[in-house]
């Protein structure tokens, strides 16, 4: 004798929840932290959402230029970026070092990149740790499934005095970067309901 089924055969439905501010503006911000990984073969740079320890606390330049690309993992679903992204960049220099920082956002498909933001340039004298809060405007750009979001940070320092910026999501202490070693970019994704 078979017992009657008293349970529903339907799968549970997913309930998506959004903040009122995100719904009202149609934009939800996601934070991505600048970080570095290390393998036997190479050093790589990433944008991650967790606050894990980075391989290094900072990237420095002394009479040199660093040109570093920070990439997300490939997106599993298409997403639309629309609005102003904000980069919080922790920088440090001593003895009136005047590095030039250039920042841009790209979409990278694995072989080519497409610039999607304005180019922000800061050329400033540094005598201690400082935070840059940099707007990067993106106008309705779609990241397709399989593509990555890329942040490029170029640090040009002709001086023999070292300049650096923080790349540790876990905010490791550093004598020079006394404010924080954490740098992040907040990306405005469109909320489609």
Do the beta carbons of residue 53 and residue 133 sit within 8 Å? no
Lowest mean pLDDT among 13-27, 78-92, 160-174: 13-27
Higher pLDDT: 41 or 88? It is: 88
* pLDDT score at 160: 84
CA atoms of 173 and 116, how far apart (whole Å) = 34
Higher pLDDT: 145 or 23? It is: 145
Q: Strand 148-157 and strand 120-123: pairing? A: unpaired
CA atoms of 187 and 183, how far apart (whole Å) = 13
SS3 of 41-110: the string is CCEEEEEECCCCCCCCCEEEECCEEEEEEEECCCCCCCEEEEEEEEEEEEEEECCCECCEEEEEEEEECC
Q: Where are the domains of the chain?
A: 57-165+172-181
- Per residue in 85-128, pLDDT tens? 999 999 998 777 889 999 999 999 999 999 999 999 988 888 88
Phi, psi of 38 (to 5 degrees): -135, 130
* pLDDT score at 8: 63
Residue-averaged pLDDT of the chain: 91
87: nearest Cα among 142, 177, 154: 154
Residue 183 DSSP symbol: -
* pLDDT score at 19: 84
CA atoms of 104 and 113, how far apart (whole Å) = 11
Helix H or strand E encompassing 22 = helix 20-25
CATH number of 57-165+172-181: 2.60.120.260
Q: Is the dihedral of CA 108, 114, 120, 124 positive or negative?
A: positive
CA atoms of 4 and 25, how far apart (whole Å) = 49
CA atoms of 190 and 83, how far apart (whole Å) = 9
Q: Tell me the percentage of the chain whose pLDDT exceeds 70.
A: 93
Is it the case that residue 15 has pLDDT exceeding 90? no
CA atoms of 107 and 115, how far apart (whole Å) = 7
């Amino acid at each position: 004798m078979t017992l009657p089924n008293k349970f529903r055969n339907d799968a549970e439905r997913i309930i998506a929840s959004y903040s009122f501010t995100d719904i009202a503006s149609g934009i939800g911000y996601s934070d991505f932290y600048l970080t570095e990984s290390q393998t036997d073969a190479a050093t790589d740079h990433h944008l991650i959402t967790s606050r894990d320890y980075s391989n290094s606390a900072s990237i420095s330049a002394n009479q040199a230029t660093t040109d570093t690309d920070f990439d997300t993992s490939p997106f599993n679903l298409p997403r639309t970026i629309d609005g102003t992204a904000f980069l919080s960049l922790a920088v440090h220099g001593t003895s009136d070092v005047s590095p030039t920082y250039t920042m841009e956002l790209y979409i990278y498909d694995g072989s080519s990149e497409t610039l999607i933001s304005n180019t922000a340039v800061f050329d400033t004298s540094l005598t201690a740790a400082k935070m840059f809060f940099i707007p990067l405007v993106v106008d309705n750009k779609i990241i397709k499934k399989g593509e990555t979001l890329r942040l490029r940070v170029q640090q040009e320092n002709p001086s023999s005095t070292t300049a650096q910026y923080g790349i540790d999501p876990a905010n490791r202490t550093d004598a020079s970067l006394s404010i924080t070693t954490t740098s992040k970019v907040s990306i405005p994704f469109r909320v489609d309901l």
